Structure 1
Amino acid sequence: MTDTRADTRKAPMIRRARACDEAAILACAEQAYSRYIPLIGRKPAPMLADYRGQIAADQVWIAEDGSDLTGFIVFAPEGDVMLLENVAVLPAAAGRGIGRALIGHCEAEARRLGLRAISLYTNEKMVENIAIYPKLGYIETRRGEEDGFHRVWFEKPL
């Protein structure tokens, strides 16, 4: 029997981050990425990012449920591609489609700008990410070391 009920999940409200969001973004990054410290042997790059500078450069967008931040994404155009640098969702909000909505927002912005693709990378120890990106249409393009991290790069043509 087929379930014909509509998906009743409410899409998160996504807006550009403001300076006053920095503390919530930092807290989200800490919660989302701290579990990887034992696997990587140090803090993952998103825990070390300059969010103040990225917010000032209009590269950060947040997802909200009411007035509470549930996740964020960092992206910026680089040449003819959009570099998706970071996407994080609070563990308490996982499984609600927030990450997918944020990535969809990035893809829509890239299309609006006429870019040819989205490019991203993840740490090779973040196996959940490596498994999910192909399901979203991303193709693994290479693996290597950068800034002391073992990374896996993906690209999605638009």
Structure 2
Amino acid sequence: MDDHQENAVRAATAEDAAAVRAVTDAAYHPYVARIGVVPQPMEADHGADIAAGRVFVTGEPVAGLVVVRPFPGHLALDSVAVHPDAHGRGVGRLLLRFVEAHARALALPEIRLYTNALMWENQRIYPRYGYDLVERRVDGPYDRLHYRKRLGL
């Protein structure tokens, strides 16, 4: 990504809905066979999430996105999706930095997320960005690892 793109994380608009679906599907599709179920982000109502101001995108065309939801005391990071064509270009790092800045701007002292236990790549990524494993919990067909990052606000 060039310097201009690197700073460009913006709220998604209705016009981004198709791109949000395409990037999410491309990012999560490889996990379907591994975990045996469709990952929840692939089944999300992207239009509703965009309308609610929960989706932020980067790139032109969209190369990556995050879906976040504020709660009292924490920001939930529901999804991070980077198109496979954009891997290795710093898109994920940019998005995780954005999420932290967004939580701080909302005066929320913690970010929480979970990932499927079989998405083992994430078990290497999140700790590198300061996320601590809190618990492992089975929720229906999903075996999830729950992480949090305290921001010290």
- TM-score by structure 1 length? 0.90
Which consecutive unaligned segments of at least 5 residues does structure 2 have? none
Letter of the aligned partner of 1:32 in structure 2? Answer: A
- TM-score by structure 2 length? 0.93
What is the rounded CA distance, in whole Å, between the counterparts of 1:42 and 1:83 in structure 2?
22
Match of 2:18 in 1: 23
| From 117, 128, 131, the counterpart of 1:124 | 117
Match of 2:74 in 1: 81
Quote how far apart the aligned CAs of 1:147 are: 4.2
| From 23, 46, 56, the counterpart of 2:51 | 56
Quote how far apart the aligned CAs of 1:9 are: 5.0
Letter of the aligned partner of 2:39 in structure 1? Answer: P
What is the rounded CA distance, in whole Å, between the counterparts of 2:127 and 2:37 in structure 1?
26
What is the rounded CA distance, in whole Å, between the counterparts of 1:12 and 1:24 in structure 2?
19
After the TM superposition, list the runs of 4 or more consecutive aligned residues in structure 1 that deviate by more than 6 angstroms.
none
Q: What SS does structure 2 have at the residue aligned with 1:69?
A: coil
Letter of the aligned partner of 1:135 in structure 2? Answer: R
| From 70, 76, 86, the counterpart of 1:93 | 86
Q: Deviations over 1:104-154 (max 9, x none)?
A: 111101111111110000011110111110000000000011242111000
**Greater Rg over alpha carbons, structure:** 1
Quote how far apart the aligned CAs of 1:76 are: 1.5
What is the rounded CA distance, in whole Å, between the counterparts of 2:124 and 2:2 in structure 1?
23
What is the rounded CA distance, in whole Å, between the counterparts of 1:75 and 1:113 in structure 2?
12
Letter of the aligned partner of 2:27 in structure 1? Answer: A
- Percent identity for Structure 1 against Structure 2: 40
For these two proteins, the number of residue pairs brought into alignment is: 149
Which consecutive unaligned segments of at least 5 residues does structure 1 have? 1-7
Q: Calculate the aligned-residue CA RMSD, in Å.
A: 1.2
1:69 and 2:69 equivalent?
A: no
What is the rounded CA distance, in whole Å, between the counterparts of 1:79 and 1:17 in structure 2?
23
Q: Deviations over 1:57-91 (max 9, x none)?
A: 00000011xx3100110001111100000000000
